[in-house]
Copies of this chain bind each other. A is one copy, B any other.
Amino acid sequence: MAVAPAFATSGDDLPGDAEGLKRTAAREGVDGYVRSGMALGLGSGTTSALAVLRIGDLLRSGELRDVRGIPTSEATARMAREAGIPLVGLDDARPDLTIDGADEINASLDLIKGRGGALLREKIVAASGGGLVVIADGSKMVDALGEGPLPVEVDRFGYEATLNALATLGCEPELRLLSGEEPHPFVTDGGHYTVDCKFYSIPDPAGLETEIRSIPGALECGLFVGLTRAVVIASEVGVEVIESGLS
């Protein structure tokens, strides 16, 4: 793992607000890693959306050519179409890399993802080749994963039993609801529920991932271990790029 100063930017021109930091991380991640001719996994969520816009800008200006996107959600697919990025599926292409945000990042570049609700498709794309380039503002770096809830995508059938099984792993699981006049479960693009699990600290992400996946009905969890190629972090003091050695 090495800081790659090639992409480091002076803090002088960094906007200090969170939105501005996300935009800076998205721009530096796209400009540093995306090349013409690539098939690109496109993550979901607010920071990924800014990367999609940046890629669209570079395609329009001609600085990038022949980039195809593999979207990880219906929302990202719509946004990429509007940005002028041709889309393909995993049947047509394997990603050369995937650009995506994260909810938490530790020093080993393991991630928690999925608070945006697209973790299963994000993980399928990220695992299918090329590794993840993670773009984030500095608030996403943590000492230990698990400060916030870990999302788990679960089958709707018998989800109550799945929640009980998750609780035996030492967390407080909570079915994600959409508020409204009558609160109802959030449903993923794949038709599943999401359970947010408060662990508070996850000392062994790989071990917990295996334990969660051994529960029938727990279809996928938001721990992304060993999938990160680089993180591009924008904070008030500048942009830091950390590479994992994965390529």
Contact = CB atoms under 8 A, between A and B. Distances in A.
A143 B158 CA distance: 33
A68 interface: no
A156 B120 CA distance: 11
A136 B13 CA distance: 72
A36 to B, nearest CB: 24
Nearest to A158: B90
B217 A120 contact: yes
Interface in A137-174: 155-158, 160-162, 164-165
B165 A127 contact: yes
A128 interface: yes
Interface residues on A, range: 20 to 34
A210 interface: yes
29 contacts: A89-B160, A90-B158, A90-B160, A91-B158, A94-B161, A120-B155, A120-B216, A121-B157, A121-B158, A123-B216, A124-B158, A124-B216, A125-B158, A125-B161, A127-B165, A127-B215, A127-B216, A128-B158, A128-B165, A155-B219, A190-B191, A191-B191, A209-B214, A210-B210, A210-B213, A210-B214, A216-B220, A219-B219, A219-B220
Interface of A: 89-91, 94, 120-121, 123-128, 155-158, 160-162, 164-165, 189-191, 209-210, 213-217, 219-220
Given A90-B158, A157-B189, 15 more contacts: A90-B157, A90-B160, A91-B158, A91-B160, A94-B161, A121-B155, A121-B157, A121-B158, A123-B217, A125-B161, A128-B161, A155-B190, A191-B191, A210-B210, A213-B213
Minimum-distance CB pairs A-B, first 3: A90-B158, A123-B216, A128-B161
